Amino acid sequence: MKLSAVILAAGKGLRMRSDLPKVAHKVAGKPIILHVIKAVKEAGIEDIAVVVGHGREIVQEICSGEKIRFVLQEEQLGTGHALMQAEAVVAPEDTILVLAGDIPLIQAETLRKLIKNHRQKQATATVLSVNMRNPSGYGRILRDKQGAFLRIIEEKDANDEEKGIKEINSGIYCFSARKVFSALHSTSTRNAQGEYYLTEALELLKNQQESIGIFLSDGEEDIYGINDRVQLVQAENILRQRKNRELMLSGVSLMDPASTFIDSDVLIGHDTIILPFSIIEGNSRIGERCEIGPGTRISDSIIGNEVKIESSRLIQASVADRCNIGPFAYLRPETTLQEGVKVGDFVEIKKSTIGSGSKIPHLSYVGDATIGQGVNVGAGTITCNYDGKNKYQTVLEDRVFIGSNTNLVAPVRIGENSITGAGSTISRDVPPHTLAVERAGQKHLPRRG
Ligand code: UD1
Ligand code: CA
């Protein structure tokens, strides 16, 4: 029996009050739908179809790296109608896992347990249910006297007694594909919302004496659906706590988890410590024995081992072992620091490579530069890389010493072991082993008044 999955994500999510489709909203740095796809893949399912409708170009774009199939639901006529659209892309002999695309807290483990239960009982359909302290808004599970599945009643169709039931439908199911599609063809829209309910298919199958299982899960959190921005931030908090916990258990120290924000795909080596008010985003990777923060934001950057970064901002930068950055440094895209580089306070670097052991300790702008090894860039050095139209390269060869407050007017190359005098504006190439000075001689005039 092959396993495949269908994720329902065609709805608009009106309560988000957004131009974006609901599943495109980010939680813990990643669109909701990608959290769901990740859990499904981790549960061992490769063959995934996503039903799209509202904002489908946006959803398809977000999922473009994921090797999944898209199914279009032109008009959103209900969850049953949504699943029906996938009939053409699912093999009838498959077992299908069906779930909503708006449940970013779902974990692979929960899905695995559901699938296992469905298979063990050889059921035609199994619904994952949860006992909720506050079940309002969810469909309720109705059981017969023996505790077997009877049907699911939506809140809007329920009477007061039914509304009192705490066991709810998570919206996550396993089905025999052939049987659920066949049942879906017989569903109607005779209900409070005038929609084709996926839940009705379970009732129809039950009436055909098919076996319908209920897998009661204890993970209330897992199936938490996002409908508005209040719930979005609640999910965000839970995901962040999970990530922080996972990191701490794997050997990373967080001085204050409450003020530490680490996206779910970030990797951090053991014995690294993250100090308060730090944000680590996207696909960042940080090595071992580093000290990050306080007050540091790192996005999509690769950091080696034993690196210190204090009160700084890094975007798409690459930092080798034993570098020391900040406080108050700004490393922009395509910055590469080789081993043991020091970048100090109020230094901005863009699209540049800094050779191992080099230092840019204070108050500098370095853009479009290639800096060799053992170079010292004095305080207040500026690469003048832009003439208003084009950007030009600056090259500092190995062991160059740039005097304080030097302007390097690109394109310009300073040969190895050369020195520039403080305050010089260097606009011509300097050969190796040379002192280049460009400044007017000092005058002493009598002071008047
Ligand atoms: C559904 C269940 C309810 C369950 C709840 C769990 C039905 C009838 N009800 O209700 O029992 O407790 O989920 O969260 O199934 N979608 C489409 N196309 C549509 C309609 C919905 O793709 O035409 C997608 C939505 O984008 C969403 C998912 O299906 O991701 C669930 O739809 P939603 O309208 O939120 O269903 P609920 O009313 O919450
Ligand atoms: Ca919902």
Ligand 1 centroid–CA 82 distance in Å is 9
Report which ligand 1 atom has the smallest distance to the Cα of 102. 30
Residue 1 has pLDDT above 80, yes or no: no
For residue 411, is pLDDT > 90?
yes
Q: Which domains does the chain have, with CATH numbers?
A: 3-223 (3.90.550.10), 248-436 (2.160.10.10)
The C-alpha atoms of residue 369 and residue 375 are separated, in whole angstroms, by 13
Residue 187 CB–ligand 1 contact under 6 Å: no
Q: Which ligand is nearest to the CA of 140?
A: 1
Neighbours of ion ligand 2 (CB under 5 A): 225
Decide whether any atom of ligand 1 lies within 6 Å of the 101 Cβ. yes
Give residue-wise pLDDT tens across range 208-245: 999 999 999 998 889 999 999 999 999 999 999 999 99
Distance from residue 94's CA to the centre of ligand 1 (Å): 22
Which residues are the active-site residues? 362
The pLDDT value recorded for residue 84 is 97
- Tell me if 181 sits within 8 A of 205, measured CB to CB: no
Distance (Å) from CA 79 to ligand 1 centroid = 5
Of the chain, the percentage scoring pLDDT greater than 70 comes to 100
Residue in 341, 406, 405, 346 with CA at minimum distance from that of residue 372: 341
pLDDT value for 220: 86
State pLDDT tens for residues 80-101.
Answer: 999 999 999 999 999 999 999 9
Q: What is the pLDDT of residues 124-138, one digit of tens each?
A: 999 999 999 999 999
Whether residue 8 has its Cβ less than 6 Å from ligand 1: yes
pLDDT given at position 197: 97
Question: Ligand 1 atom 8: the closest Cα is on which residue?
Answer: 197
Ligand 1 atom nearest to 170, measured from its CA: 6
Is the CB–ligand 1 distance for residue 76 below 6 Å? Answer: yes
169 close to ligand 1 (CB < 6 Angstrom): yes
Nearest CA to ligand 1 atom 22: 10
Residue nearest to atom 39 of ligand 1 (CA): 138
**pLDDT given for residue 13 in this prediction:** 86
Taking the centre of ligand 1 as the mean of its atom positions, its distance from the CA of residue 198, in whole angstroms, is 8
Provide the pLDDT for residue 449.
Answer: 81
Task: Summarize the confidence of residues 165-193 as an average pLDDT.
Answer: 96
Residue range 341-355: average pLDDT? 98
Check pocket membership of 213 for ligand 1, CB cut-off 6 A.
no
**3-class secondary structure for the chain?**
CCEEEEEEECCCCHHHCCCCCHHHCEECCEEHHHHHHHHHHHCCCCCEEEEEECEHHHHHHHCCCCCCEEEECCCCCCHHHHHHCCHHHCCCCCEEEEEECCCCCCCHHHHHHHHHHHHHCCCCEEEEEEECCCCCCCCEEEECCCCCEEEEECHHHCCHHHHCCCEEEEEEEEEEHHHHHHHHCCCCCCCCCCCCCHHHHHHHHHHCCCCEEEEEECCCHHHCCCCCHHHHHHHHHHHHHHHHHHHHHCCCEECCHHHEEECCCCEECCCCEECCCEEEECCCEECCCCEECCCCEEECCEECCCCEECCCEEECEEECCCCEECCCEEECCCEEECCCCEEEEEEEEECCEECCCCEEEEEEEEECEEECCCCEECCCCEEECECCCCECCEEECCCCEECCCCEEECCEEECCCCEECCCCEECCCECCCCEECCCCCCCCCCCCC
Question: From the CB of 225, is ligand 1 less than 6 Å away?
Answer: yes
pLDDT digits (tens, 9 = 90+) for 261-302: 999 999 999 999 999 999 999 999 999 999 999 999 999 999
Q: Nearest 5 degrees, angle CA 266-CA 269-CA 373?
A: 95
Counting ligands in written order, the one closest to the CA of 23 is: 1
In this structure, which ligand is nearest to the CA of 22? 1
Protein residue with least CA distance to atom 31, ligand 1: 100
* Beta bridge mates, 74: none
Ligand located closest to 154 CA: 1
Establish whether residue 154 lines the binding site of ligand 1, counting it when its CB lies within 6 angstroms of any ligand atom.
Answer: yes
Q: Is 172 in the pocket of ligand 1 (CB under 6 A)?
A: no
Mutational test site, ligand 1, from 79, 132, 151, max ligand atoms within 8 Å of CB:
79
| Distance in Å, CA 227 to ligand 2 centroid | 6
What is the tens place of the pLDDT at every residue in 145-174? 999 999 999 999 999 999 999 999 999 999
